[in-house]
Amino acid sequence: MTITTSSLDVRDEGKCLKESLSKMLDPEFYTNEKWFERELQAIHFSAWHFVCLSTSIENPGSFVTRRFLERSVIVVRGEDGIIRAFLNTCRHRGAPLTSDRCGNNTYFRCPFHKWSYDTFGDLKSAPGLGGSVKRSELSKLRLNLVPVQCEVVAGLVFINLNEENEMPLKSYLGSYIDNVAKPHQVQRMHCVQEKSYTLTTNWKLYIEVDMETLHTNFIHSHSIGSQPVTPLEHGRNWFGVYHQNSLSPALFPEKRSLAFSTPHGVTGEAAEGTHFCVILPGFFIVTAPEVMWWIQKTPISATRTSVNVGYAFHDETLARSDFKEVAPHYFERLDQVILEDDQICEYQLEGLRNRVQGHYTPAEPVAAYFSELIQKRLLEVGNE
Ligand code: FES
Ligand SMILES: [Fe+2]
């Protein structure tokens, strides 16, 4: 065969192009339950998981329940104002104390035989032990609710299911607090809408879609359009991208002039653009100048993912006389874009079930960074 100069050029070009691609994780990482088990141990059980905003449990006795990695957890603000977390399991015969997603209780009374616990998790009455058992004697039983590590930073409530965890939440979040949460005044945010549902996808596929804007022109062509971003300097447990915007990206392009003004105190980069960040493992949190939203992904299995979505505004925005009139425009845009991402993540998994290796282009650097990070963490644990 005679090789001409031009065919060599084409071949070199092809090689160069191929070298510019990086490999996705092996398809087994998205589909195989054995790998998923390993990932649970390496990544999820040791992590801090976002629960809610502290403003969502503002009063003593207000609580939320959430499921993480097959555990049901109650997070409650105690009578002393401190937020604590407990496993949602009665110490009598193990029934859940509540099936409510949120509420306000002075006591948690188990529906089965009415053992009850206060907001500190202390057992306060125990039918079956005789009516004469004094409260002081109940404490000697050591059958209080099982505590779970719970901390609040910048108005964000997190729990950690690893009893041996020694890393405070502040260290876990690292530079995210000063670089993103504080400038955006996240501690002043109030959640105004929340929803939870399950998707047939791998949680990592959704994080990848959160972190690349190559799909934005195609999947969100009407709802977002082009959205150029620059990668942020990342921390050990968070990374993200920044989109500079003069008009809110949280509204449909034709409605962006309706945006709420930037609240006082939100300044600098936080007032000029939007941070799209992932706090590992699956907490995608977006802070725009006047609104915040999150899509938290918690895996149920390799191919099932629990999703929690929340929309929040600053106290000052909630107090506006036009809030009720304008906010639905935000909900409409956020609902639409999230639906588009939900659908594409389920669709992508269907193809990956054929176990064909995928790739990232140079236009998807943060998605590629994320999968490298996951691989590194899995190997770290594998080598221990
Ligand atoms: S299981 Fe809760 S009171 Fe019996
Ligand atoms: Fe998207």
DSSP one-letter string for 345-378:
HHHHHHHHTT----EE-TT-HHHHHHHHHHHHHH
Tell me which residue has its CA closest to atom 4 in ligand 1: 113
> b vs e for 145-164, b when ≥16 Cβ sit within 10 Å of the residue's Cβ?
beebbbbbbbbbbbbbbeee
Tell me if the bond preceding 147 is cis, omega within 30° of 0.
no
- pLDDT given at position 379: 84
- pLDDT given at position 275: 97
Could you count the other beta carbons within 10 Å of the beta carbon of residue 356?
Answer: 9
Show me where the domains of the chain are located: 22-26+175-383, 49-160
- pLDDT at residue 109 tops 90: yes
Cβ neighbours of residue 121 closer than 8 Å, sequence gap 6 or more: 84, 86, 144, 145, 147
ipTM rounded to 2 decimals = 0.97
Strands (E), the chain: 22-23, 48-53, 62-68, 71-77, 83-87, 102-104, 107-109, 116-118, 123-125, 147-153, 156-160, 189-199, 230-231, 238-244, 273-279, 283-287, 292-301, 304-314, 359-360
- pLDDT given at position 5: 45
**Higher local confidence (pLDDT), 384 or 195:** 195
Please choose from 87, 88, 92 the residue to mutate so as to test ligand 1's pocket, defined by most ligand atoms within 8 A of CB: 92
- The ligand that comes nearest to the alpha carbon of residue 108 is 1
Ligand 1 center to residue 101 CA distance, Å? 19
Residue 88, phi then psi, degrees to nearest 5: -85, 65
- pLDDT given at position 324: 97
- The ligand that comes nearest to the alpha carbon of residue 339 is 2
Q: Spell out which residues line ligand 1, taking CB within 6 angstroms.
A: 90, 92-95, 110, 112-115
- The ligand that comes nearest to the alpha carbon of residue 110 is 1
The CATH architecture annotation of domain 49-160 reads 3-layer Sandwich (2.102)
The CATH H-level superfamily of 22-26+175-383 is Naphthalene 1,2-dioxygenase Alpha Subunit; Chain A, domain 1 (3.90.380.10)
Cβ neighbours of residue 195 closer than 8 Å, sequence gap 6 or more: 308, 309
Tell me which residue has its CA closest to atom 1 in ligand 1: 93
Confidence of residue 292 (pLDDT cuts 50, 70, 90): very high
Please choose from 108, 110, 116, 146 the residue to mutate so as to test ligand 1's pocket, defined by most ligand atoms within 8 A of CB: 110
Identify residues whose C-beta is under 5 A from ligand 2, the ion.
341
- Cα 200 from Cα 154, distance rounded (Å): 32
